């Protein structure tokens, strides 16, 4: 587990990072917590000539509320998110999901930005960010842009970020008054990654009908995705057990399930249905006035 | 035996303060000036001819001191040893580096010694090996079929050895049977995954011609003997040191290629060389455990009486034998009777070469397989006969008055009371209530399972395997205890001190226990087979007894009384009836050291050694009960309760015994639930890292309820039996029995390990009708 040799710089500003990326092109890799990149380098599956450590840039790990949205710096660690008092009240889905990642050591080092840009099809946080309808702030040579999380994940280890760009912030809506959420996962026993994970962000109207719902699924296909078909069936309706079951049956529609040692395609698809149903039920149970 | 004060006490481990503060010195912590770092190029192919190796580019790289290929050193180092008393055994030459052909993924083909670890690793990428891939066989049953690829051309049938035994009237038993119950059982391959991977450091001193090898091993003395042969060195110029060893679980009860290779490099390069195994190497190139596929059949009467047992098993050996590879499957055969009276038993083992790493001893080493066979079978019989699995077991137990109990496999169980351990476990579990609860929940579509395993195992490797101990009292009164056992986490620095402290009446803190260095301990065998205390501890005890007798003689001289007029109490020798005047061991050692008029027949110092070789094995036993709930929708298993009642004879330190059980049960549950080494049909290892190979973690463990019964063994003077492996042996079948029981309403009679959620889900899905009666 010894990586090939590489150069290392640790710029103090975002501008310097973007300049270094422009100068070194594909030979450079950004490193934050290193929880995905370093194992790959130690296995020599990835051999960058230059590591640009963005961990020394200040102001990129904050967790704040701006009006009705939560802004999470890309360098915020899983542990920070898991334990953030602000998120616990304003966006508990992120706390729940972060808590499901790896172990304490991994959560202490790993960052939300790193998890998202790595694009692992079995990572936890993408499911939550998708369910929340998050937007990603991305900085590059021509300034900043916002990207919908839903269009961000393109395939295994592939995202819409370009080699000369840096993910800087994740924006998600602050939880509405009548909202509930849940992240449920069937972990791969060895790695803890999701064989299947479902994140649900639910909002109801005063009559208990589903006003809005976001369902993010990870582990099922070659990229995390939002289960639009299920959401549409639920939106505007009372969340009866029957409706939940009927609608979540659609969760794997149009997705080619992954197949590996841990789960064949049919089992993964089955798990997606079970976990989607259970996650919707769990989110409904956590609505204020019910389980509080 | 004297009234004991410390034996039996919950003494905290002396080892822990330094280990917990990171002060322990493991192989990698030993630093020597001028050290070179070694990396090994390993085969990516499971079976291939080596057409050519070109190491020139690697040799020219800065920082590279030497590169050797297997072909170059083919005749310089002896082959890797194996030991077994079996005339059918076929031993393919097992070289430290492959010369002409590789037979498994991970087999070494070249070695690099460099100024630092980075250079060593980089150089591996520069060695060009031209492989010609050959057909591969990884399935041991397929390997024994006529059309299989051949691994060693000398033996086209791929048969590594066979072993069979039949005692009692097998044919008659099956003729008289009311029912014959059959089950095919798979014991999947496991990786031992010691916390510390292997590591070797070797240093040669050219002036004295002394080679010292530090190795993370369980058997420094045996290793020394074998290394001397492999390297053709005089034994008295070889020293092996096992410093702190971070666990072994049997995987370090071996002689590995790297141990000889590093010795060779140190001699050849005249510089110290170090190799520290990486985890991925550890999973590829350190022995695996288990790997058996068998079919068992029982001849039974309607009332549950077991008349006879037949077991045919194929053992997956891997490509070569390691040290005890051929000894493991027969061990399974010997223990097949379990804790039952079975008048006729027939076993037939066929061992198959496969294109995989060798299997060898892993915690339990053959006994977990035996226990799993018999304990799964008992549940299958109970199901077939519609008997309660507990009643079936009780019916077939020998009575406690029947010991020593002779089995149809040729063993004599030393002592036992299987009924009482079972009764205690049933009570702790609330068995009757559990069964009612199970019935109630089934009615509601919830699936509880109760698994019982009553095990007996074999420990302390008796006749033929001795152990050495020595006790000496320094002139100042401090005590040194030397043992040929080589603890690597078990805590004998504490328990041996307890034994000696009681014998000599000295303080625990005044005792040092020394082990793991062939220059400090005259001889030894090592730690494995749950023998360190039951054999090594007895040698230490006997040495301490001798020291006490020396002290008595000296005291009799100092007091000028007959030795028989002395009594030893409260750590002092007193003249009978004169309790106030007494001499402690410390005072006697001090006086003897400086005495001017000591008669010639009296010892100058208090020091004695002993070699203990038990006349029989010991047979610990117990009952484990596991309660699970299965979610048929996801296939996930939740352990609700775990009860273990174990009997390891007399207990020296209950804390250490509990620790062994906790770890043992964790590994047993690991096998039952998660662990499996998987090679694909091309011999590629699919579970080659801890991201894919699931070892149990603290969070996976249920809360354990541990209890004991105590049935001393007559085999040794302390009555102790051994506890290192019992947890692993007893737990796996309890777990699987519980899950099979939970799934009974789905018509499931057996599930092969590991019981992954996917597997369980499939069984629930293809069920004839959920809710059916058991």
Give the distance from residue B278's alpha carbon to the nearest chain A alpha carbon, in angstroms: 7
| CATH for B214 | 3.90.1170.50
Nearest CA in chain A to B637: A186
Query: Which residues have a Cβ under 8 Å from the Cβ of B382 and sit 6 or more positions away?
Result: B304, B388, B389, B391, B392
- Which of A45, A249, A267 should one mutate to test binding to chain B, selecting the residue with the greatest count of B CBs within 10 A? A267
Query: Could you give the number of structural domains in chain B?
Result: 3
Axis crossing angle, helix B431-442 with helix B418-429, rounded to the nearest 10: 50
Q: With bands split at pLDDT 50, 70 and 90, how would you rate the model's confidence at B590?
A: very high
Interface test with A, best of B28, B115, B123, B634 (most A CBs within 10 A): B634
Most distant CA pair in chain B: distance in Å?
Answer: 91
Residues B673 and B693 in one domain: yes
Task: Quote the CA–CA distance of B41 and B124 in Å, as a whole number.
Answer: 6
DSSP reduced 3-state for B410:
coil
Residue from B708, B713, B656 nearest B538 by CA:
B713
pLDDT at B350 over 80: yes
Query: What DSSP state is assigned to residue B28?
Result: G
In a domain, B161, yes or no: no
Instruction: Return the half-sphere exposure (C-beta side, CA atoms, 13 A cut-off) of residue A109.
Output: 12
Where is pLDDT greater, at B766 or B581? B581
Cα-Cα-Cα-Cα torsion A271, A273, A275, A276, nearest 10 degrees, comes to: 150
State the smallest CA–CA distance between residue B689 and chain A in angstroms: 9
CB < 8 Å to A189, chain B? 673-674, 694, 756
* Domain termination residue (choose one: B592, B612, B632): B612
Q: Which two tokens stand for residue B316?
A: 């997956």
Cβ B421 vs Cβ B646: under 8 Å: yes
Report pLDDT for B570. 84
Q: Please give the residue of chain B at the shortest CA–CA distance from A268.
A: B758
> What would the two tokens of residue B585 be?
């061991």
Do B608 and B469 share a structural domain? yes
Report the alpha-carbon distance of residue B497 to residue A24 in Å, rounded: 63
Are the C-beta atoms of residues A127 and A218 closer than 8 Å to each other? Answer: yes
**Structure letter (DSSP) for residue B205:** E
User: B623 and B603: one domain?
Assistant: no
pLDDT at B581: 84
Same structural domain for residues B701 and B632? yes
Please check whether residues B647 and B732 belong to one and the same domain.
Answer: yes
Q: pLDDT tens digits for B660-696?
A: 999 999 999 999 999 999 999 999 999 999 999 999 9
Long-range contacts of A25-32 (CB under 8 A, 24+ apart): A25/A163, A25/A164, A26/A163, A28/A52, A28/A163, A30/A54, A30/A117, A30/A166, A31/A55, A32/A74, A32/A75, A32/A111, A32/A113, A32/A114
Q: Do B758 and A190 touch (CB under 8 A)?
A: no
| Chain B residues near residue A5 by CB distance under 8 angstroms | 118, 122
Please check whether residue B160 is in contact with residue B140, taking contact to mean a CB–CB distance below 8 angstroms.
Answer: no
Token pair in block for residue B230: 């492999």
Question: Could you tell me the fold of the domain covering A63-173?
Answer: 3.30.465
- For the residues of B213-247, what is the DSSP string, one character each? EEE--S-HHHHHHHHHHHHT--GGGEEEE--S---
pTM of the shown model: 0.96
SS (H, E, C) B498-510: HHHHHHHCCCHHH
| DSSP characters over B526-590 | -S-TT-IIIIIIHHHHHHHHHHHHHHHHHHHHHHTS-GGGEEEETTEEEETTEEEEEEEHHHHHH
The answer to the question of residue B9 being in a domain is no
How many angstroms away from the CA of A138 is the closest CA of chain B? Answer: 31
Chain B residue with minimum CA distance to A267: B758
Whether residue B141 lies inside any domain: the answer is no
CA Rg, chain A, in Å?
19
Q: For A50, which DSSP code?
A: E
What stretches of B232-366 show up as alpha helix (H) in DSSP?
A: 257-269, 279-285, 328-334
Burial of B360 per CB tally in 10 Å (0-12, 13-18, 19+): buried
Residue B463's pLDDT band, with cuts at 50, 70 and 90, is confident
H/E stretch holding A18 reads helix A14-24
CA atoms within 13 A on the CB side of A163: 11
Report the alpha-carbon distance of residue B251 to residue B295 in Å, rounded: 27
Tokens of A200: 């649900």
* CATH at residue B495: 3.30.365.10
Q: Tell me the C-alpha distance between A12 and B162, whole Å.
A: 68
Do B643 and B753 fall into the same domain? yes
Q: Which residues of chain A have pLDDT under 50?
A: 290-292
Q: At what angle do helices B492-504 and B538-559 cross, to 10 degrees?
A: 30
Residue B769 has pLDDT above 70, yes or no: no
- The Cα–Cα gap between A250 and A247 comes to 6
B695 interaction partners in chain A (CB closer than 8 Å)? 190
Q: How many residues does chain B have?
A: 774
Q: Assign domain A179-285 one CATH number from 3.40.50.1820, 1.10.287.3510, 3.30.379.10, 3.30.390.50.
A: 3.30.390.50
Compute the distance between CA of residue B423 and CA of residue B258 in angstroms, rounded to an integer.
49
Domain shared by B391 and B490, yes or no: no
In this structure, are B636 and B758 located in the same domain?
Answer: yes
What confidence tens digit (pLDDT) does each residue in B211-261 have?
999 999 999 999 999 999 999 999 999 999 999 999 999 999 999 999 999
Question: What is the pLDDT at residue A289?
Answer: 52
pLDDT value of residue B770: 47
Q: Kindly report, residue by residue over B169-215, the tens digit of the pLDDT.
A: 999 999 999 999 999 999 999 999 999 999 999 999 999 999 999 99
> Residue B319: inside a domain, yes or no?
no
Bridge partners for B296 per DSSP: B183, B311
Closest listed residue to residue B757, CA positions, set A274, A126, A121, A255: A274
pLDDT at residue B768 in the model: 52
Cβ distance B674 to A5 less than 8 Å, yes or no, reads no
B4 with B653: CB under 8 angstroms?
Answer: no
Question: Which of B280, B633, B766 is the best residue to mutate to test the A interface, defined by the most A CB atoms within 10 Å of its own CB?
Answer: B633
Tell me which residues of chain A have a C-beta less than 8 Å from any C-beta of chain B: 1-2, 4-5, 39, 44, 186, 188-191, 261-264, 267, 270-271, 274-275
Burial readout B651-686 (b: 16 or more C-beta within 10 A, e: otherwise):
bbbebbbbbbbebbbbbbbbbbbbbbbebeeebebe
Taking the domains of chain A in order of start, what are their residue ranges?
7-53, 63-173, 179-285
From residue B164, alpha-carbon distances to A120, B87, B350, B485, B659 in Å are: 51, 12, 9, 32, 37
Contacts of B757 in chain A (CB under 8 A): 186
B359 occurs within a structural domain: no
Biggest alpha carbon distance in chain A?
Answer: 62
- In degrees to the nearest 10, what's the CA dihedral of B239, B242, B248, B251? -20
Which regions of chain A does DSSP assign to beta strands (E)?
A: 7-9, 28-31, 50-53, 63-66, 69-73, 135-140, 143-148, 153-155, 158-159, 166-173, 179-187, 194-204, 210-218, 225-226
Q: Which two tokens stand for residue B431?
A: 């068995």
Nearest to B363 by CA among B248, B461, B283, B221: B248
Helix (H) or strand (E) holding B160: strand B159-167
User: How far does CA A232 lie from the centroid of its chain?
Assistant: 22
Closest to B68 in 3D by CA, of B204, B206, B266: B266
* Pair (B431, B491) in one structural domain: no
Question: A7-53 in CATH: which number?
Answer: 3.30.43.10
Question: Do A186 and B636 make contact, defined as CB atoms within 8 angstroms?
Answer: yes
3-state secondary structure of B26: coil
Residue B88: C-alpha distances to residues B164, B291, B311, B352 (Å): 11, 20, 19, 12
The secondary structure element, H or E, covering residue A269 is helix A265-285
- pLDDT, averaged across chain B: 96
Q: Are B299 and B180 in contact (CB under 8 A)?
A: yes
- B139 φψ region: left (φ > 0), alpha (ψ -120 to 50), beta (else): beta
B587 touches chain A (CB under 8 A): no
Select from B227, B262, B285 the last residue of a domain.
B285
Q: Which of B38, B279, B758 to mutate: most A Cβ within 10 Å?
A: B758
Neighbour count for residue B618 (Cβ, 10 Å): 29
Among candidate residues A135, A122, A128, A71, the one with its CA nearest the CA of residue A99: A128
As a whole number of angstroms, the distance between CA B551 and CA B604 comes to 10
Q: In whole angstroms, how far apart are CA B107 and each of A147, B279, B348? A: 49, 15, 30
d(CA B102, CA B98): 6
CB contact under 8 A, B756 and A4: no
Please report, rounded to a whole number, the percentage of residues in chain B having pLDDT higher than 70: 98
Q: Residue B480 sits in which domain range?
A: 462-612
CB-facing half-sphere around the CA of A133: CA atoms within 13 A: 12
Mark whether B65 and B208 lie in a shared domain. yes
Residue range B545-551: mean pLDDT, rounded: 97
Same domain membership, residue B552 and residue B589? yes
Among residues A177, A166, A183, the alpha carbon closest in space to that of A276 is found at: A183
Q: What is the ipTM of this complex?
A: 0.94
Angle between helices B389-396 and B418-429 (to 10 degrees): 160
Is the same domain home to B643 and B745?
Answer: yes
Cα(A58)–Cα(A17) distance, rounded to whole angstroms?
Answer: 13
| B572 in any annotated domain | yes
Residues B713-732 have a mean pLDDT of: 96
């Amino acid at each position: 587990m010894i990586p090939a040799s590489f150069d290392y710089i640790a710029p103090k500003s975002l501008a310097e990072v973007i300049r270094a990326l422009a100068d070194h092109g594909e030979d450079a890799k950004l490193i934050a917590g290193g929880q995905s990149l370093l194992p790959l380098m130690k296995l020599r599956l990835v051999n960058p000539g230059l590591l640009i450590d963005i961990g020394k840039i200040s102001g990129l790990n904050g967790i704040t509320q701006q009006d009705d949205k939560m802004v999470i710096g890309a360098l915020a660690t899983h542990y920070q998110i898991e334990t953030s008092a602000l998120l616990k009240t304003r966006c508990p889905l992120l706390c729940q999901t972060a808590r499901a990642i790896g172990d304490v050591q991994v959560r202490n080092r790993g960052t939300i930005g790193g998890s998202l840009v790595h694009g692992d099809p079995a990572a936890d946080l993408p499911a939550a960010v998708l369910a929340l309808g998050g937007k990603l702030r991305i900085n590059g040579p021509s300034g900043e842009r916002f990207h919908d999380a839903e269009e961000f994940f393109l395939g295994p280890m592939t995202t819409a970020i370009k080699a000369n760009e840096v993910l800087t912030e994740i924006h998600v809506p602050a939880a509405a008054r009548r909202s509930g959420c849940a992240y449920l996962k069937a972990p791969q026993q060895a790695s803890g990654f999701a064989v299947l994970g479902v994140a649900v962000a639910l909002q109801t109207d005063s009559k208990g009908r589903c006003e809005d719902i976001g369902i993010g699924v990870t582990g099922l296909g070659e990229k995390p995705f939002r289960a639009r078909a299920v959401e549409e069936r639920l939106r505007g309706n009372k969340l009866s057990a029957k409706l939940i079951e009927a609608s979540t049956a659609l969760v794997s529609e149009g997705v080619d399930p992954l197949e590996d040692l841990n789960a064949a395609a049919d089992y993964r698809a089955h798990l997606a249905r079970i976990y989607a149903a259970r996650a919707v039920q769990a989110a409904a149970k956590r609505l204020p006035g019910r389980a509080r | 035996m004297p009234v004991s004060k410390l034996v039996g006490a919950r003494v905290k481990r002396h080892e822990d303060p330094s280990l917990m503060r990171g002060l322990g010195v493991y192989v990698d912590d030993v630093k020597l000036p001028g050290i070179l770092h070694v990396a090994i190029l390993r085969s990516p192919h499971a079976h291939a001819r080596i057409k050519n190796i070109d190491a020139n580019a690697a040799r020219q790289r800065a920082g590279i001191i030497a590169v050797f290929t297997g072909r170059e050193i083919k005749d310089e180092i002896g082959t890797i040893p194996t030991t077994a008393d079996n005339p059918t055994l076929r031993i393919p030459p097992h070289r430290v580096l492959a010369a002409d052909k590789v037979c498994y993924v991970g087999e070494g083909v070249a070695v690099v010694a460099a100024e630092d670890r980075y250079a060593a690793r980089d150089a591996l990428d520069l060695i060009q090996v031209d492989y010609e891939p050959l057909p591969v066989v990884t399935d041991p049953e397929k390997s024994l079929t006529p059309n299989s690829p051949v691994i060693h051309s000398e033996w086209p049938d791929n048969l590594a050895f066979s072993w069979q035994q039949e005692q009692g009237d097998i044919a008659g038993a099956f003729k008289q049977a009311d029912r014959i119950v059959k089950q095919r059982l798979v014991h999947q391959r496991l990786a031992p995954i010691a916390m510390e991977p292997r590591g070797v450091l070797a240093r040669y001193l050219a002036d004295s011609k002394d080679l010292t090898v530090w190795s993370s091993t369980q058997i420094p003395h045996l290793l020394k003997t074998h290394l001397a042969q492999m390297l053709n060195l005089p034994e008295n110029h070889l020293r092996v040191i096992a410093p702190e060893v971070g666990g072994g679980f049997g995987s370090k009860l071996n002689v590995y290629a790297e141990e000889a290779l590093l010795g060779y490099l140190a001699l050849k390069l005249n510089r110290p060389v170090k190799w520290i195994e990486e985890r991925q190497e550890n999973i590829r190139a350190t022995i695996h455990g288990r790997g058996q596929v068998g079919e068992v059949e029982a001849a039974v009467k309607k009332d549950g009486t077991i008349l006879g047992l037949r077991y045919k098993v194929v053992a997956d050996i891997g490509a070569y034998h390691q040290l005890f590879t051929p000894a493991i499957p027969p061990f399974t055969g010997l223990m097949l009777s379990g804790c039952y009276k079975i008048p006729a038993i027939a076993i037939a083992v066929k061992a198959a070469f496969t294109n995989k790493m060798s299997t060898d001893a892993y915690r339990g080493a053959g006994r977990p397989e035996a226990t799993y066979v018999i304990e799964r079978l008992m549940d299958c019989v109970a199901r077939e006969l519609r008997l309660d699995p507990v009643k079936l077991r009780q019916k077939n137990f020998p009575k406690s008055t029947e010991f020593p109990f002779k089995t149809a496999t040729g063993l004599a169980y030393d002592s036992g009371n299987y009924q009482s351990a079972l009764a205690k476990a049933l009570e702790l579990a609330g068995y009757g209530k559990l069964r009612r609860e199970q019935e109630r929940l089934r009615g509601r579509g919830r699936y509880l399972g109760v698994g019982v395993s009553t095990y007996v195992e074999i420990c302390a490797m008796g006749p033929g395997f001795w152990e050495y101990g020595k006790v000496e009292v320094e002139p100042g009164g401090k005590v040194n205890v030397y043992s040929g056992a080589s603890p690597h986490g078990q805590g004998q620095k504490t328990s041996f001190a307890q034994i000696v402290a009681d014998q000599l009446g000295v303080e625990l803190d005044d005792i040092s226990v020394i082990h793991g260095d062939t220059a400090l301990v005259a001889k030894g065998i090592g730690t494995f087979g749950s023998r360190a205390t039951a054999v090594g501890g007895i040698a230490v005890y006997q040495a301490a007894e001798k020291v006490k007798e020396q002290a008595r003689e000296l005291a009799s001289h100092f007091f000028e009384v007959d030795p028989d007029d002395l009594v030893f109490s409260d750590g002092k020798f007193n003249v009978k009836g004169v309790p106030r005047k007494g001499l402690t061991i410390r005072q006697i050692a001090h006086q003897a050291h400086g005495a001017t008029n000591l008669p010639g027949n009296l010892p100058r110092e208090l020091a004695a050694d002993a070699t203990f070789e038990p006349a029989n094995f010991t047979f610990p036993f117990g009952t484990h009960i596991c309660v699970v709930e299965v979610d048929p929708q996801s296939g996930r298993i939740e352990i609700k309760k775990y009860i273990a009642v174990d009997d390891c004879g007399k207990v020296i330190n209950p804390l250490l015994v509990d620790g062994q059980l906790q770890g043992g049960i964790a590994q047993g549950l690991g096998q039952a639930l998660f662990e499996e080494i998987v090679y694909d049909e091309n011999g590629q290892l699919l579970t080659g890292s801890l991201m894919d190979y699931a070892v149990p973690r603290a969070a996976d463990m249920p809360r354990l309820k541990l209890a004991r019964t105590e049935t001393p063994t007559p085999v040794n003077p302390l009555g102790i039996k051994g506890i290192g492996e019992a947890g692993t042996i007893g737990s796996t079948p309890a777990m699987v029995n519980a899950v099979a029981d939970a799934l009974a309403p789905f018509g499931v009679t057996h599930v092969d390990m590991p019981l992954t959620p996917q597997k369980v889900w499939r069984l629930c899905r293809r069920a004839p009708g959920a809710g059916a009666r058991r």
